[in-house]
Amino acid sequence: MENRKRPAIVIWLIPVLIGFAGFYRVTQAPNFGIYRAVDIVQLLGSGVCFGAALVGIIFMLRTAQH
């Protein structure tokens, strides 16, 4: 059996596309103009931090199994 690993770009591309799709949906909402820029930056930063924590947890669980 061949041990084939996915290229790293595929692993990162899918979540980025899903994130952009969600962000695009929010920006197209009629009440998007009400949001302040500082709130949007804070939400994006929080999302990045949660995503990094999730990746760290998954990495930790995967290495603990091997």
Q: Which two tokens stand for residue 8?
A: 């790293």
Q: Which two tokens stand for residue 6?
A: 């996915």
State the pLDDT at residue 24.
Answer: 86
State the pLDDT at residue 55.
Answer: 86
DSSP string computed for 22-54: HHHHHHTSGGGGGS-HHHHHHHHHHHHHHHHHH
Distance set, CA 32 to CA 18, 21, 22, 27, 39 (Å): 19, 15, 13, 6, 11
10-residue stretch averages of pLDDT, the chain, 66 residues long: 61 79 85 85 88 87 79
State the pLDDT at residue 6.
Answer: 58
State the pLDDT at residue 12.
Answer: 72
State the pLDDT at residue 30.
Answer: 87
